Amino acid sequence: MRIVLIGQAAFGAKTLEALLERGENVVAVYTPPGKPGGKPDPTKDAALARNLPVFEPAGYKSDETFSQYVELKPDLTVLAFVTDIIPARYFQAASSGAICYHPSILPRHRGSSAINWAVIMGDTKTGLTIYWPDGGIDTGPILLRKEIPIQQHDTTGSLYFNQLFPMGVDAIMESVDLIKAGRAPRIPQEEAGATYEPPCTDKVAGIDWSKSGQEVYNLVRGCDPQPGAFALWKGEKTRFFGAGYRKETGGPTAGTLTAIDGAGIHVALSGGTMTVSKVRGAGGKVSGAEWAAEKGAHVGERFDVAPSAPTNLRIG
């Protein structure tokens, strides 16, 4: 079976390596075009190291790019971390179609920040989906889904790197086996329960201290490691990482520093206290205690509300 891989970053590279280790016939690799002076993409590096043809189209809409793809005579196209919009004709041109990895239990959390939103919105489980793309944004029939619980301490980073990344590579291999055996299902995505959220950027990462403690903590976890949930400290955007939360009653106004110690800074929330082990301001990421010393922060002082805090955000 002739396989074309479209992907990028470490996930694309690991998927390529796994396919080749199994003896699959990968005939070409597509990656985003590199930026002048930027770091080489790991997927591109992995392909070149194995003497595979690499294509870096600026986009997939041109007839020239499509004709080049058709000349490869693909039986299956594997999408492993793709941020481009790829027209449906690419998937139809491969004799066995195309499969795509998405880190959520589709149809919930369609879009580019699926893991972030599962944590931010307080989901108790998430997972991954391998589906047959049809040209829509994370639409198309389901081939397989896998679920994992979201623990109270999980962040977007821990869910992805510790679980959804390695599970995703394995799920793609499992899917290829099902396709080769002629047993791969095409289960229609049910639209009931479908959600689509915006990219998790600073437009949604500002902390609103009037929210419940659990909601603030979920936002901090969901924005860790990127973009980093933030508040303002004396006008400076200040981001929180490595947070913990304990429920408490009473206490100071939310956003107030209640303690500074080796565990980090402790910040009052509505209904609890959040401990933040790492803080990033203008000078880079440091421990909470180091940040407090650098800024001359004292117990009893209070963070301001971030100007972008989405006080009325209701999604999904």
User: Is CATH 1.10.3720.10 the classification given to domain 204-295?
Assistant: no
Closest Cα partner for 275 from 294, 290, 288, 293?
288
Query: What kind and span of H or E run contains 291?
Result: helix 288-295
Task: Please give the structure tokens belonging to residue 39.
Answer: 């770091």
Give 309's pLDDT tier (boundaries 50, 70, 90).
low
pLDDT value at residue 36: 85
Q: Where in the chain is the domain with CATH 3.10.25.10?
A: 204-295
E-only strand ranges, the chain: 2-7, 25-30, 54-55, 76-80, 98-102, 125-131, 142-149, 229-233, 236-247, 257-261, 264-269, 272-281, 284-287
- What pLDDT digit, counting tens, does each position of 162-192 carry? 999 999 999 999 999 999 999 999 999 999 9
Instruction: Please report the sign of the dihedral spanned by the C-alpha atoms of residue 13, residue 15, residue 19, residue 25.
Output: negative
Assess whether pLDDT exceeds 90 at residue 129: yes
Domain 2-180 adopts which CATH fold?
Rossmann fold (3.40.50)
* The pTM of the whole model exceeds 0.85: yes
| 186-229 pLDDT per residue, tens | 999 999 999 999 999 999 999 999 999 999 999 999 999 999 99
Cβ contact 49:24 at 8 Å: no
Q: Provide CATH 3.40.50.170 ranges for the chain.
A: 2-180
DSSP output for 86-97 = --HHHHHHSTT-
Measured between alpha carbons, how far is 306 from 314 in angstroms, rounded to an integer? 18
In whole angstroms, how far apart are CA 96 and each of 42, 53, 58, 173, 182?
27, 21, 25, 15, 10
Q: What's the gap between Cα 66 and its chain centre?
A: 28
Is residue 22 exposed (0-12), middle (13-18) or buried (19+ Cβ within 10 Å)?
Answer: exposed
- Mean pLDDT over 53-74 rounds to 97
Contact 33, 67 (CB under 8 A): no
